[in-house]
Structure 1
Amino acid sequence: MHQASAGVRRHPAVPGRAPSFHRAAQHTSVVGLPSVPSLAQNPSDLPTHRHRPPDHQPQTVPATPTPKATATGHSHRAQSQPLEAAMRLRRVATTVVLGVALVCVAPASSPAVGREVAGAAEAAGVAGPAAGATAGHGSAAVLRAGQPPASRPGAAAAWPVPTGTVTAPDGRTLLTDRQGRVLRLRGLNLGKTDTVTEERIADLARDGFGLARLNIQWEKVEPHRGRYDTGYLRYLDHILDWADRYRVLVLIDWHQDVYGPAFGHNGIPAWATRTDGLPFEPNPDDWFADYFQPAVQAAFTHLYDDADLRAAQGAAYAKVAEMLRGHRSLLGYDLFNEPFGPVPGDPTDPQDQIDASAALERGRLADMYRRLIRAVRSSDHDAWLFLEPTVLIGQGVPTSLPAFDDPRPGADRLGYAPHYYDTAVESGADWDPSSRFIERYEAAVADYPTTNRLPVLVGEWGPPQATTPGNAQLMQRQVASMDRFAAGWALWYDCRADNGGGYCAYDRSGGPAPGKEPAFAPYAPAVAGIPDSESYAPTPRTYTLTMTADRATRRAWTVLSLPATAFPHGARVSVTGGGPAVVVGAGGPGRAGLLLPTARPGAAVRVTVTAC
């Protein structure tokens, strides 16, 4: 969605009323982290406009290589016999009982030690961390990768990739991998009008993000009817090659804004635009109001209703799915960005908007989703397919989408991908906590995915800028909010601008934009257990994860993302509950692996990470 240059704040003319809303013994280890620069790149309250996407190419700089992995440290007391038997780790590769506090270390390189850790974990019958995770002679581990994680032997095998779901006690549907770990995805949007490079994917990984929502358009896939742009398809394939290498999951977002280029925007090709000769008068002050123009309304109606356009759209989706299938980084597809359709009656009337949205979701949009699910499944049985509601979800209007069937063999791989924007903030206002925007949104978003057991991935969110007190608080509150209902999210947008203007995640220097630091906070991408709560306090740089042990806790590694933006000089990891803990560097710079080989299901575990 989005139409605005970085650093430019929109002040649209609103064709309606402006919205008003919206645990036991402690074990401690230390993981030394490299100091890697951050690079990148009420029905009456309804939306009548949206922000504009960046239309520039973000600045990038070459990735800074980091030293290779090694291990050193201080001696520990000997391991207990039960833990030693459970782990069967060779002495040279042990990250022993963590019963004493350690000083933070950043030792020199020794790749051989990392290989022995992986071998020892395999011999112990547990799923080890990525090759290159290091520990030795009772030391704490530190990882300093000099090459992309997937290029090291065994690294890909440890990459947490969603293969199923689990229902949490509170009713949430969470993504899981083959080891039964709960996966939590965090990332950025990119690629809409700018070129994605290998450096940008590498930067995402270094900043702790494991997800890229890649914006693509039908107009680029098939600029002329029946003729696919092989160059563009190869470009998409290269992006996923890089994502494979850096272990970043990619969600392909079939993007559109105001239908497509026939109306000065992007998405649906001009040759697939039918207006019935109706007028189109663009609003220079409010691009979202263009959706209500008669010609745009007609174009959407034909896209939903005309058999030849339906077939062409399905063929394009199948073509892309055929091209990209097999990539380990391919999470799946967001089938249609911010769906819109005809609004009978007065488009500025809130109730007419609600009625039109409900009719679209129950009828034409639901039919489109069924067609597109079949189209992708004709080429790819493994990708996850995410369904978007209309933008009214952001204003507290629950979706009217029906349930959907997935024709793939085995369990369904369907998800729900709403967006999370406060329209008043998009208009230029500083966020008002008294608006109850977050409370209304959470109430509106919960029922559909809970009823249909769908994981939630918030495809877009974030304020245009977060330098004001309200918007900075909004960033904090939204991150905490999404932890309560979502399996993952992607912030809009991976670009640089002064003070993070124009929705940019980064400031001009390449660091987290002021006020947007909560998006760069530490988190647990993979939890061997049921995650309960997660928090990060920038002062005094303390990250806390609470979880409940389950059957996966003893045999699988919990992975912590501890980026240099939060822990520039390393981090001390403490664990209470769950019995003795093993902590090693894992899977890349700023990552740690945690194993609790004697934890009993139901045990309350608390992980605390503090700065060195």
Structure 2
Amino acid sequence: MRLRRAVTTFALSVALLCAVPGPVPAAAREAVARTAAGAAPAVTRDGATTARPVPSGTLTSPDGRTLFTDRHGRVLRLRGLNLGKTDTVTEQHVAQLAHDGFDLMRLNIQWEKVEPHRRHYGTTYLRYLDRVLGWADRYRVLVLIDWHQDVFGPAFGHNGIPAWATRTDGLPFEPDPDDWFADYFQPAVQAAFTHLYDDPDLRAAQTAVYAKVATALRGHRSLLGYDLFNEPFGPVPGDPANPDDQIRASAALERGRLAAMYRRLIGAVRSADRNAWLFLEPTVLVGQGVPTSLPGFHDPRPGPGRLGYAPHYYDTAVESGADWNPSDRFIDRYEAGIGGYPTAHRLPVLVGEWGPPQATTPGNAELIRRQVASMDRFASGWALWYDCRAGNGSGYCAYNLDGNPAPGKEPAFAPYAPAVAGIPDTESYTPATGTYTLTLTADRTTRRAWTLLSLPATTFPDGARVSVTGAGPAVVVAGGPGRAGLLLPAARPGATVRVTATIRPPHVGRRAPSRVGTS
């Protein structure tokens, strides 16, 4: 029996149905015809080529991971940036984020701003949050609301829990100017966390403010959900500098006080919003490869639960100023420590924060590259810390002063597939050759739903050539600046499909840098 390998190639500039034999669904022909006529690709029963997909369910991959899926059954992968902690988010921020290929914003909000005085909510701040989500609706960016705190709140010179909700029992607080994280171990901060977890009036106030925000923001199509508590911390009996005491305290917190808080906060959000995803964070010890001791949680919404796991991915030595040492097995330890909990409870993983303070040194640049590859192995999404601009690649900023990716952080801006009709297998980008490759295993969704590609101008300034093997006849249409939709109506379930995008030579119908289509 002769086997013929079907190969289809496209140059991304104008939408066109490929001239290869084989039936193409009417909906696909309609999408191509509309695009060729100058209209946006249609949203059809086969899927959408323009709208950002929204997680509505999950599936379990062959390797045991729980992956986001949308209403078409496509596997979703989210990539984005953190913003909003210290600066005001503008429409330009959201537009730039979308232009650079990201589809997720982790928006840092603080209780102190929502409720600056007991029972008096900041209506101006709530309107601001509503505007930000309105811009996200417009630019098709998903928003994860992060209830952020660092070292409890402003009573200790940081942000998060309002001063009126801070109870120290008169214990001392002596900040360390050289190590802000050490402030967590100060007696006053330890007391403040204990009261937040234990005092009935503070628990009630926290429940009410979460419900208030959920009520104000529900209904936005960009709202992915809520990260319930950033980097939870608590009392550390014994010696805070002793790693064994830290591990015991972390486990006790996760099994007890923190678990009880999460149950309250799940109920608070669900009292106002039945659809948002709710993400649980472990303590920061997960960054040292310590598995979480969190129990399982019940989502009271009707139908399947919408809970996720949102750890952070930081190397302690790098955070303290060291250049990353690839021989320290940080990534191996982290992956080993991170996998058990979401697998056992069938939760999708979204890494809420990651990235070194700067990536201009050789080790940290390699760390960025390896972390992107690592998260492709275990996570359904991630948000790099942080959306800002700085000279010489200093600090956590994702951009340099001229708005280009900061030196060493280019791998975070690589092309990817936000939605895959099938089971994604591998994904890679090679800067030296300008080649992006996605492999997937076709399933029942592959024939009828669009696979979406993000091919941003940061990596494909003149567009891209896309080739497909293993799928038979294929259709590619433009899906907006830097995006393309791929339909594989003849793909056989179980077949391995390979999609490759390469740099398009400037002399081949050169377009504006942000333009992506097909020809």
TM-score tier by shorter-chain length is: over 0.9
Mapped to 1, the partners of 2:436 and 2:137 lie a distance apart of 28
Shift in CA distance, 590/259, structure 1 to aligned 2, threshold 3 Å: same
Cα distance between partner residues in 1 of 2:413 and 2:401: 16
Shift of 1:128: 4.3
8 Å contact kept, 2:52–2:141: no
- Does residue 127 of structure 1 match 2:52? no
Q: 2:131 aligns with which of 238, 246, 251?
A: 238
Query: 1:88: Cα distance to partner?
Result: 6.4
Matched, 1:83 2:23: yes
Cα 1:76–1:342 shift into 2, 3 Å: closer
The aligned runs of 1:306-345 (5 Å cut-off) are: 306-345=199-238
Query: Which structure 1 residue ranges, 5 or more long, are not aligned?
Result: 1-22, 33-70, 96-109, 131-157
The reply to whether residue 607 of structure 1 matches residue 499 of structure 2 is yes
- Is the Cα contact below 8 Å between 2:450 and 2:487 reproduced in 1? yes
Contact 1:386-1:414 within 8 A present in 2 as well? yes
Q: Residue 253 of structure 1 corresponds to which residue in structure 2?
A: 146
Which stretch of the first structure deviates more once superposed, 236-245 or 497-506?
Answer: 497-506
Q: Which residue of 1 aligns with 2:6?
A: 25
CA distance in 2, matches of 1:91, 1:384: 34
Shift of 1:87: 3.6
When normalised by structure 1's length, the TM-score is: 0.80
How much does 1:159 deviate? 2.8
TM-superposition CA deviations, 1:208-265 (whole Å, max 9, x none) = 0000000000000000000000000000000000000000000000000000011111
- Unaligned runs of 5+ residues in structure 2 are 505-519
Distance 1:255 1:268 in 2: 9
CA 192–592 in structure 1, closer or farther in 2 if over 3 Å, else same:
same
Taking the aligned partners of 2:255 and 2:312, their CA distance within structure 1 comes to 19
Alignment match, 2:490: 598
Distance 2:47 2:306 in 1: 24
Change (3 A) 1:114 1:378: same
Report the equivalent of 2:38.
113
1:597 Cα shift?
A: 0.5
TM-score, normalised via structure 2 length: 0.94
Matched, 1:494 2:494: no
Contact 2:277 2:307 in 1 (8 A): yes
Q: Deviations over 1:129-173 (max 9, x none)?
A: 23xxxxxxxxxxxxxxxxxxxxxxxxxxx3300000000000000
In structure 2, relative to structure 1, the CA distance for the partners of 1:606 and 1:231 (3 Å cut) is same
Q: 1: distance between equivalents of 2:212 and 2:234?
A: 25
Q: Is the 8 A contact 1:279 1:294 kept in 2?
A: yes
The match for 2:295 among 396, 402, 405 is: 402
* 1:387 counterpart = 2:268: no
The size of the alignment, in residue pairs, is 501
Q: Judging changes above 3 Å, is the alpha-carbon distance between structure 1 residues 251 and 90 closer, same or farther for their aligned structure 2 residues?
A: closer
Note if contact 2:32-2:477 (Cα within 8 Å) is conserved in structure 1.
Answer: no
Write the letter of the residue equivalent to 1:480.
A
Note closer, same or farther for the CA distance 1:255–1:552 as it changes in structure 2 (3 Å cut). same
Cα 1:343–1:594 shift into 2, 3 Å: same
Identity value in percent: 76
Distance (whole Å) between structure 2 residues aligned to residue 391 and residue 571 of structure 1: 40
Deviation of 1:464 after TM superposition, in Å, equals: 0.7
SS of equivalent residue, structure 1 residue 225: coil
In the alignment, structure 1 residue 512 sits paired with structure 2 residue 437? no
Is 1:456 the counterpart of 2:349 in the alignment?
A: yes
1:581: how far off? 0.9
Q: Deviations over 1:250-308 (max 9, x none)?
A: 00000000000111111000000011111111111111111111111000000000000
Distance 2:286 2:201 in 1: 31
Q: What whole-Å deviation, never above 9, does each CA across 1:48-72 have from its counterpart, x for those lacking one?
A: xxxxxxxxxxxxxxxxxxxxxxx47
Deviations 1:468-518 (A, max 9, x none): 111000000000000000000000000000122110000111100000000
The answer as to whether partners of 1:543 and 1:608 remain within 8 angstroms in 2 is yes
Instruction: Tell me how far apart the structure 1 counterparts of residues 169 and 30 of structure 2 sit (CA, whole Å).
Output: 76
Letter in 1 for 2:432: T
What's the offset of the Cα at 1:90? 5.2
Tell me, in whole angstroms, the C-alpha distance in 2 between the residues paired with 1:93 and 1:302. Answer: 60
Q: Any idea what SS the aligned residue of 1:379 has?
A: coil
Residue 161 of structure 1 is matched in structure 2 by 54
What pairs with 1:183-582 in structure 2 (closer than 5 Å)? Answer: 183-582=76-475
Q: How far apart are 1:91 and its partner, in Å?
A: 8.6
With over 3 angstroms needed to count, the CA separation of the structure-2 counterparts of 1:194 and 1:90, relative to structure 1, is: closer
Alpha-carbon RMSD: 1.7
Residues of 1 paired with 2:60 and 2:33: CA distance? 34
**Which residue does the alignment assign to 1:589?**
481
The 3-state SS of whatever aligns with 2:97 is helix
Deviation string 1:34-86 (CA, Å, 9 cap, x unpaired) is: xxxxxxxxxxxxxxxxxxxxxxxxxxxxxxxxxxxxx478x964x42x414x3
Describe the shift of the 1:556–1:91 C-alpha distance in structure 2 as closer, same or farther (beyond 3 A). Answer: closer
Asked if 1 retains the 8 angstrom alpha-carbon contact of 2:15 and 2:32, the reply is no
